[in-house]
Structure 1
Amino acid sequence: MAILLLAAGCGTPTPLLFAELSKEDKNQTEFPVGMTVNYTCRPGYVEQPQMSPTITCLENQTWSEAQEFCKLLQCPPPPNIDKAKHNSQHLDVFPAGIVVNYSCDPGYSLLGEESIICTDSGNWSLPLPQCAGGCGAPPNLSFAELTKESKTKLEFAVGDTVRYSCRPGHLRRPGMPQTLTCLQNHTWSEALEFCKRKQCKYPESPKNGRVVVLTDLLFGSSVNHTCDEGYRMVGQSHRRCEVLGRDVAWTGLPPICQSK
């Protein structure tokens, strides 16, 4: 009577959380002693350098111990974004597939997607979101300039207010605030003319001549002087209302009209 001898070997290779059998070894049905099978890392895991991704069927018909030749793929801590915070400050590990959400500080708006994801390459998805500042530099006004405190500010969130002071030659209009505010649409509120031009005194007319007011007597305006017929002008005919100390006055001296 013939005796059927079964070949010594191992059963199905050990299932691993971090790796799966290679395509070639998945099709194997018999695993004799001495046979080695190969694994590939599962998604979200990466090979450990200098560690062989294999196990071997031993003489005792058991599989050799599977070393942890695939480690969990993870990203570095999420990048910090200016004027923003993310929702994963409590985490120490960031495996592939984890999603991190950002939110901007009050007064700033999110540009781009609010979330990033740790990819299978161990890097965070791009592009990173950004938080846009409320407004750009405050407008330059002909009649007023920023106060020292407001000049030192570099960023302006929605809701921020800057203050102006009247330039030389100008006077504050009563009851009008000297401020601008950064609005929700990231533009500055309308700059009302809260400083008015100071006015020079009516210029004296030269003897035997007269003054010609070209526009008005306000700061920056000009007047001309003319002499009566039979007289000639000595000095400048043109004068301008300019800053003098803390007030305004006409430049130079009035001309003289001399008899020809």
Structure 2
Amino acid sequence: MDCALLLLSLWALAGTVSLQALGSCPERLLGEERRRTCPRPCKTDRDCGNKRQCLCDGQCGLSCVAPGRTCPWPLPPNENSVAHLLSPTHSFSALLEVRCKPGFTLSNGLDATIRRCQGDRQWSGDEPICTEIPSPEPTAVPTCPLPEEVTSTFSILGDATVGTSIRYSCLSGADVVGSRENFCQHNQTWQYPHPICKNVYCQPPPEVDQGYVVAVQKTEYEVGFDIHYLCKKNFLLDGPQRVTCLSNGSWSASPPHCRARCLIPAERSRVMIGGVKRWPFDVTDAMVPHGENVTFYCKHPHKQCSFTAAQTCFDGKLQPPACYLEPTWLQYKLFPHRLVSEIEACEPGDVE
């Protein structure tokens, strides 16, 4: 740009030298004036009168010009460009630089142009227009292709850009057959073939003794389907009341058990149930549910006192502790206050 300015400056100054040095001044060609008004043509100063000189006026060629004529300065401000006067004055042949502001450019791709003050008191050339340089299109990030049949079947965790991994999960809740994870390679291909979704079913749940399976009867059950278990009267459910079909084709838990009640193995002695001392015949059916603790009273082998021993009902079985002796009918009828459950409790130190 500095070389161009120097050449233009020398050319502009050439317009003020003697006519013998103006052999390079172009001939005036009709239609080449670019909509400007050219002064009267000439060949020597004598053709122009006292106040004008025969000078080179750009595309107007040799013209009668008043050297003192000036062009408009300063120019009106422009938000996209800045004008700088390159000559001491803005008179004929003065040079003006118009430079675009950062981010703007002229239509020819340059960021500056030089204009010359002409004999018609106008700056040469068309009015320069600086336009904003368009932002470059964002660089596309290379990706691996994901066919529609994959995106419509799977939920994809992650993106498909080169150098990253994704994870698949079936939208339908079915099981993923194949690799659940894939890697987008630098050649924009996947490391593994895309998996497929295979519908998984659970087989009918097993029946339970003394219980019921509450579910719609089917030959197979979909993932997420729930079934419920109930026990018959007087049986206690031991285990999950509800199980769910999982995506691996199994149920969420093993089937429960229906546990039977236990008959209290005592008739003529009170026992402790739920923290309450009771006669067995006062308990409904003289039975306790599965898992219930029953505390029996045992007589000290050497002292007239009693101590306790607990047993737990398990699925219809409840054995009295080894220390427990069932009172006889005569003891129960004739000496009820001497029954083992009614005598004084032993001191803590008396019980081994």
**Structure 2 length as normaliser, TM-score?**
0.27
Using CA pairs below 8 Å that are at least 6 residues apart, which structure has the higher relative contact order? 1
**Structure 1 length as normaliser, TM-score?**
0.34
More helix by share: 2
